[in-house]
Amino acid sequence: MESPATGLLPHCPTPAAADRRAPYSNTPSVLMFHALPERIGHQLLIVGTLILFAGFFLFIRQRKRSKAYRYPPIIDIPADEIFTRPQEAYESALLKHGPVIGVRRKGKLEYIVDEELTKEVLANDHDFSFEHGTARILNLWFLIPLSKGRLFKNLNMMVAGGIIPRIDKIVDQVFPTFKNRAKEMIDESQLSGKGVDLFAHVHRCIAEAMLIVALGKHNVNDLNLQVTEETAHAIAVMTGMYQNTSSFARTYPTLWKVVTWVKLVWEVIIFKYFWVIGPFIWKEIRGRKYRPLHDELDEEERHDEPLVHYIARMYTNDQGRVSILSTLWVSTLVLAFIFASVHQTAAVAVWVVFELSMRKEYIPAIREELSVVADSIDNDGIQRLSYEALRRSTTLDSFIREVFRTKGDTLSVIRATTRDVPLGEHIIPKDNLICPLTSLTHRSRRIYGKGAIEFDPRRWAEGPASSTVGQGYLPFGFGRWACPGRILAVTEIKMITLTLLATSTPEIEGGKYIVADPLNVTSVPPLGRLLLHPMKSKSELLRR
C-alpha cells in the first residue's frame, strides 16, 4: 500500500503484498525494491541489470585490452651471464619470454626485442628516438638540450656534406699515412720478431688521417697527433666503451661515471684538446671569412676544404664571420668527429685483420685483386690506391661484410621511447631504452638460410657492398640515423688491410685472439698480437 505523501510502500509490507513479491524476496539485494512502488522497482531492476551488464562488458574489454597491451616481462639475467655470454643469455631469455623483455644492466632497465620487432624499432624514429637513446647510453644526454636538440643533426650534416662528397680527395690525402704506418708495423714486427699491438698502431694511423681530414695537413704535428689520440681514447672511456670490462664500473656505475668524467674532462678535454687543438681551430675559423653553405664552391676549392672550414660555413653570419660562441661549438663538433671516426673504425679494423689472419685461405684472392685494381706500384712494391681502386676491391669487401655480420654484435644499436609505445602485444613505457638483439638478425635463418651461422663471404659476391645497410645487416645501424661515416670507415679498413697484405702475411701470435668484451665487440677490439711476416719477393707475393 503506497503512502500518499511519499508514494513509497510502508516499511512493513502487508502479508498479501509480501506474498505477491515472494519470487524476488529470497535474495536480500532485491528486498530494497520492496520499499519502492512496483513500476519503479521494475524499472530500477532493469536499469540495474543493464548497468551490471555494461560494467561486466567494460571489465572484459579492459581485461582484453590490458592483456593485449601489457608491459613486457622483466627478466632477471645474472650480471655474470650478461657480461660473459650475452648472446646466449639474451637469446634464451627472448626465446622463453619474448618477443620483448626488460632486463636490468648496470642499474639501468633496457627493453630488448627479437628479430621480428627489430625493423619497427629502428625505422620508427618518431616513437623510438635515436638521438635520445644514443645520447643516454653514451652518457652525453646533457648535450641534447645544450645544442637545442641539434647535436646529431649537425654531426650528420658535417659528415654527409663535408666528408662523403669529397671521399676521393680524402683518400688521396691520407693514403700515404696508411702506407707509412703499415710499413712501420711490419718493420717493428720483423725487428723484434714479436707480434705488434695492432689496435695501438691502427688507432694512431686513423687518428692521423682524421686530423688531416679535420684540420688540413698543415696543422698536423706530433703534439696534435698525440692529443688527438688521447682525446679519442678519453671520449671512448667517458662514453662507457670500456665500462663492461671494469668490475668497479659495472658494480658502481654512477660513482664510476662521476670519477671518470671529472678526471678526463679536466685532464684531457680541457687541458689537452681545448688547450692544444683549440688554438688551431680558433685560428682557422676566426682568421678568415667564409662563404655560407648554400654558396657553392668551385670543384677545386671544395676538394681542398678541410672539415673545419666546412663546419665554419655551417655557422657563418652575413658578414662571412663565425661568432665566438659558434667557434666553441665548432670545436665541440670537431671533438665529436674525432671520437666518432677514430675509435670504432680502429676496433673494427682489428676484427677484419685478425679474422683474415685466422682464415688465410682468403688471402691469395684478395692479393690478386689488389694487383688488378691498384693504380700503380711504387719502388717498395706497394700499390697506390685511389678511392676508385678501393671501391673496386669487391673480394675484400665481401670478406669485410661477412666479418661485420658474424663478429657477434649484440646490443649495438639503441633507441629511447618518446611516449608509451605499443609494440607487438606490449606497451613500452615512455623514456625507456630499447635495443634489438642484433645477433638474432645477423644469424637469422629466415634471412640467411640454413647456413646463416657459417662464415661465407661468397654470399656477398654479387653485393651489396659492406657499407650498405639493410634489414638483415645492422653493423652501421638502420633507418634515418644509419651511420653517415660508413663509407669512410670501410675505405679506411680496406687501406689498412691492403697496405699490410701488399708486403706481409699476418699471423696472430699463439694462433688465436680473445674477445675482450662479448657485449661490446664493435667498440672493444679483440685481444692478440699480430706477427707480420714480410714477403721476400714479388713472385712470393703472387704465390702466398
Report the binding-site residues: 483
The torsion defined by the Cα of 237, 242, 243 and 244, in degrees rounded to 10, comes to 170
At its nearest, how many Å lie between ligand HEM and the CB of residue 417? 15
The distance between the two most distant Cα atoms of the chain, rounded to a whole number of Å, is 124
Numbered residues of the known binding site for heme: 483
Closest CA to 473 of 133, 156, 132, 119: 119
Residues 6+ apart with CB under 8 A from 290: 309, 312, 313, 316, 320, 321, 322
At its nearest, how many Å lie between ligand HEM and the CB of residue 157? 8
At its nearest, how many Å lie between ligand HEM and the CB of residue 476? 5
Measured from the CB atom, is 102 or 162 closer to ligand HEM?
162
Preceding peptide of 306 cis, ω within 30°: no
Measured from the CB atom, is 234 or 489 closer to ligand HEM?
489
| CA 244 remoteness from chain centre | 16
152 binds ligand HEM (CB under 6 A): yes
Select from 233-241, 336-344, 377-385, 506-514 the region that touches ligand HEM (CB under 6 A).
Answer: 336-344
177 binds ligand HEM (CB under 6 A): no
At its nearest, how many Å lie between ligand HEM and the CB of residue 342? 8
155 binds ligand HEM (CB under 6 A): yes
Preceding peptide of 99 cis, ω within 30°: yes
The string of DSSP letters for 41-72 reads HHHHHHHHHHHHHHHHHHHHHHHHHHHHTBPP
Binding string, residues 111-140; x marks residues near ligand HEM by CB under 6 A: -------------------x----------
340 binds ligand HEM (CB under 6 A): yes
Which residues in the 469-508 window bind ligand HEM by CB under 6 A?
Answer: 475-479, 481-485, 488-489
Helix/strand/coil percentages in the chain, nearest 5: 60, 10, 30
Three-class SS state of 59 = helix
d(CA 404, CA 513): 16
d(CA 451, CA 463): 18
Task: Map grid coordinates 645497410 to a residue.
Answer: 469
At its nearest, how many Å lie between ligand HEM and the CB of residue 354? 14
Select from 282-290, 337-345, 376-384, 534-542 the region that touches ligand HEM (CB under 6 A).
Answer: 337-345
437 binds ligand HEM (CB under 6 A): no
At its nearest, how many Å lie between ligand HEM and the CB of residue 522? 5
Cβ atoms within 10 Å, residue 386:
16
Contacting ligand HEM (CB under 6 A), which of 94, 103, 117, 159?
A: 159
Residues at the contact surface with ligand HEM, assessed by CB under 6 A = 130, 152, 155-156, 159, 163, 340-341, 344-345, 348, 412-413, 475-479, 481-485, 488-489, 522
